[in-house]
Amino acid sequence: MARLSALFDLSGKTAVITGSSKGIGKAIAHRLAEHGANVVISSRKLDACEAAAEEINADLGRAAAIAVAANIGVKSDLERLVEETHAAFGPIHICVCNAASNPYFGPMSGISDEQFAKILQNNIISNHWLISLVAPEMRARQDGAVIIISSIGGLRGSDVIGVYNISKAADMQLARNLALEFGPDNVRVNTIAPGLVKTDFARALWDDPAILKRATAQSCLKRIGLPDEIAGAAVFLASAAGAFTTGQTFVIDGGATTI
Q: Is 24:149 a contact under the CB 8 Å cutoff?
A: yes
* Catalytic status, residue 104: no
Backbone Cα Rg of the chain? 17
3-state secondary structure 61-84: CCCCEEECCCCCCCHHHHHHHHHH
89 closest CA partner among 146, 33, 140: 33
| Strands 94-97, 65-67: pairing kind | unpaired
Cβ-Cβ contacts under 8 Å for 198 (sequence gap 6 or more): 206, 224, 225, 226, 227
Q: What is residue 187's three-state secondary structure? A: strand
85 closest CA partner among 24, 136, 38: 38
Question: Residue 65 is which amino acid?
Answer: A
Catalytic pick among 8, 89, 164, 236: 164
CA atoms within a 13 Å half-sphere pointing along the CA-CB vector of 69: 7
Show which residues are catalytic.
164
